[in-house]
Every structure is written in C-alpha cells, then in structure tokens.
Amino acid sequence: MTRTIIENAHVVTVDERGTEYPDGHVVVADGRIVSVGPGRADQALRTDAEVVDGRGCLVTPGLINTHHHLYQWLTRGYAQDSILFDWLTALYPLWSRIDADLTGTAAAGAMAVLARSGCTTVGDHHYVFPRGGGDIVGSIVDAASTVGVRLHATRGSMDLGASQGGLPPDSAVETTVAALAASQEAVERYHDPSPDAMVRIAIAPCSPFSVTADLLREAGVLARSLDVRLHTHASETVEEDAYCAEHFGRTPTQYLEDLGWLGDDVWMAHGVHLDEPAIARYAATGTGVAHCPSSNARLAAGIAPVRALLDAGVPVGLGVDGAASNESGQLGVEIREAVLMARLRTGSESMSARDALRIATMGGARVLGRHHEIGSLEPGKLADIAVWQVDRVEHAGILDPVAALGLGALPPLKRLYVGGRTVVSDATLVTADETRLARAVAAASVSLAERL
C-alpha cells in the first residue's frame, strides 16, 4: 500500500459543514483519502508513509473546471477587442483547420497550465470537427493521460451553417446525422462510468445559434439512452437572447426546455443573462451552470447572477472557458474573479472567498455529477488534492489562508495530487516537460495560422 501524509497545514475540507483544521492532516492510501482531521495523523498510519510537511500551506480539494475549449490554446490573442459573435466569426475559419495532432498539443499545454493552477478535473467542450481531422476526442483523452488529470471531455457539434441562418460558416459544420453518430462513437469508445474514472464523455451540441433544433433534441435522446450527461452554451450574451427571440420567439431557456434540455443531467456554460423565471426553471430541474467570469469579462458578455443561482439551489461550478477568450487559462485565478465579479453585480456580501472556493470544488463536482467521488476532502473520496504554498512574500502576513487564495495572487502549488498521484511538485509539472510543451504549442500555433 502506498500512503501519503500531508500534515502541519491549514486544511479546508469543503464538506457539508465547511469544516476546517487550522493545523490539520490528510492521509491518502491507494488513491483515496483515508483520514482528515486536526493535528498529526494517527501513529498507526505513519509506517512506510511518505510525509509531506505542509507548514505554510493551505490544503483544499483539487479544483474542478466545468467549461473549456482546450484546442483554443493555439488561438490566444486573436480578436482582442471583440464581443462574442464578432469574435466567433473572426475565429471560425482558423478553428475549422484544426486536426487531432494540433488539438492534442493544444490540450496538453492547456491542461499543464490548469494543473499548475490547482485543477485536478478538466471539463472540455470540443465542437469543431473538420473532415479528415482524425480522432480529435482521442487526442484530448491522450493529452489528459499524459498530464495526469481527470477528464470530462464532451463530444460537441455544430450543424447550423451560415447558409441556414446559423453563425458559423458552412465549412465549419457537420451534418446532423454525422454529429450524432460521432457523438455515440465517442461515448462508446472513451466513456468510463466507473466511480474512479479518469475519463468521462458527455454530449454537447455547441449553442442555439450554431446547432439545429433537431440536433439538440436528438442529442438529448441519445445522451439519455447512453446514460451520459449533456452540455451546451446558454444565455451567454444579449445577442444570443435577440437571436432566440427572432428565430424561435422564445428565451434561450424556454427554447432549450422545449427541446428536453433542462435536467439534473445537463449543465450550461455561462448563464449570464438568466432572468428570474429561468433561474427558477434551472433550480426546479437541477440544471447546472458553469460560471466563467474572466471569459465573460473578456468578451464584455456581462456578469452572471451567481448569488441568485446559489440562493435558488442551482448547482454552480467554475470554468476558465476556452483560452481564446481567457488567455490565462488558470482555474485558480477564477476563484478571485468569481468573488470580484459577484461583488460588482450584487454587492460586497454576495460572494466570500470561501463561497468561491466551494463553487470551484464541490460546486463543480455537482455540475459534473461526481459529488460522491470528488470535490471535498473526506474519507472515501478520491485523493484529488491541492497543497498551496501561502507563506511566501506574496501571501506572508495574510492571516486567513483562504483569503490568500481567494483574494490574493494565485499561490504556487507545493503539491497537486490526482487520485493520489503527484502531478505537480514544488510548482513544477512532474508528469510532462513544460519546456517541451511550450515549444510544441508555439510551433503548432504557427502551423495552424499558416493554414489560413
């Protein structure tokens, strides 16, 4: 049995009661948490254990990213001053030249940065599948395995090209039939329903303005027949509201509900423009929201009503969103952004650092349907753990280590564990060579740009 003990640290469990141990320990054995508590670990657990001295550290559950487009790691810094629809229109031609090789390189780079910012579970939404592009979902699965993070990949799709009234060019979309067949194939090939799964697949048509009603409806039926989750973008911008009013005579929420798209097996990216009736429908159905504050600010989309969502009981997780609208790609940073944005929208008491940490951990676990396995530090759960160093000059003197993480600079990681395996040690990725990843990303980015 391999056993690891982290002790002398401030442990924030994010359990139901918000238990914290200012001088506590966590013990991991065979990939699971076996003990969490005050003081040092039991003598009986110490034999043959690796002991990590957590002095000056904050220990939290690993962070859970609920929305990303990993391939966009190659297309950062484009359309820097655009709102969503103009930004999409500028980037579709580039994205429609992506393939499995380029996506794998992008995904590895993006996931390395996610891991270095405390993320142990990566949600991805890939929806551009050019003809002849190879096994793109497979390339993302491989990259996650290389970096060592847990993956919730989604097989996305677009079938509503510009000639039919959609936003993407016809060259960037698939047929409805092909998208459904490929979604089923991705689930059959890569989805692992087991409780300690490193790879899960969900089905994720892209958005109301890039997907037909037929694809949305049939994707819902397919996902439920395969017992996997559903994901899409919803209520991101006022332009999307206007599009849905013009084309469907309904709000995005009414449109999606009519197509079978509200439920506790569904999570939506953004939810910026949800009104009161929509929030009530999300709450009543258990529909989750991936809150992406930096991306929403980058594209001037607005600030999501997170306080109202939480008060209504809607599951809310955190997401970086694609790197083309969040060049940072660091999930840890989004905790602070969530605090700041909520306060700008609804006042200083609408979001504490601890609230935002809960969204980033248990909130994300609920959104992905994995709250019994990950998201908190409790015996029996998978050992996905972040050990943040909060005693350096950036944080020294901040008496509350949770404030150091949630209000201060992003702290470096002393350790990051995924299923008990060390992925980051002393702020360095140990599973892959970061210098080589950086070189590969730079080359792939140029190579993609040259395809235009």
Interface ranges with Zn ion (CB under 5 A):
269, 321
User: In sequence order, which ranges of 327-389 are alpha helices (DSSP H)?
Assistant: 331-346, 353-358, 364-367
From residue 212, give the alpha-carbon distance in Å to each of 237, 335, 379. Answer: 19, 34, 45
Given the complex with Zn ion, which of 157 and 350 has the nearer CB atom? 157
* 269 or 416: CB nearest Zn ion: 269
Of 25 and 155, nearer to Zn ion (C-beta) is: 155
Residue 399's contacts (CB-CB under 8 Å, 6 or more residues apart) are: none
Q: How far is the CB of 370 from Zn ion (least distance, A)?
A: 20
Is 178 within 8 Å of 139 (Cβ atoms)?
no
Maximum CA pair distance of the chain? 70
- Residue 78 DSSP label: S
Alpha carbon of residue 170 to chain centroid: 28
Nearer Cβ to Zn ion, position 4 or 154? 154
Nearer to Zn ion, 156 or 363 (CB): 156
E-strand spans in 131-192? 150-157
Residue closer to Zn ion (CB basis): 67 or 150: 67
With a CB cutoff of 8 Å and minimum separation 6, the contacts of 366 are 288, 315, 317, 375
Task: Pull the structure tokens for residue 23.
Answer: 């001088």
Task: Compute the least distance from the CB of residue 35 to Zn ion, in Å.
Answer: 39
Nearer to Zn ion, 13 or 330 (CB): 330
- Cβ neighbours of residue 310 closer than 8 Å, sequence gap 6 or more: 316, 355, 359
With respect to Zn ion, which residue has the nearer C-beta, 321 or 373? 321
Closest approach of Cβ 294 to Zn ion, in Å? 12
Question: Residue 369 and residue 8: Cα distance in Å, rounded?
Answer: 32
- Of 385, 363, 187, 211, the C-alpha closest to 288 is 363
Residue 322 CB, shortest distance to Zn ion, in Å, is: 5
The string over 357-388, giving b where at least 16 C-beta atoms fall within 10 Å of a residue's C-beta and e elsewhere, is bbbbbbbbbbbbbbbebbbbbeeebbbbbbbb
Shortest approach of Zn ion to residue 207 CB, angstroms? 8
Nearest distance in Å: CB 271, Zn ion: 12
CB of 267 to Zn ion, least distance (A): 12
Minimum CB separation of residue 81 from Zn ion in Å reads 19
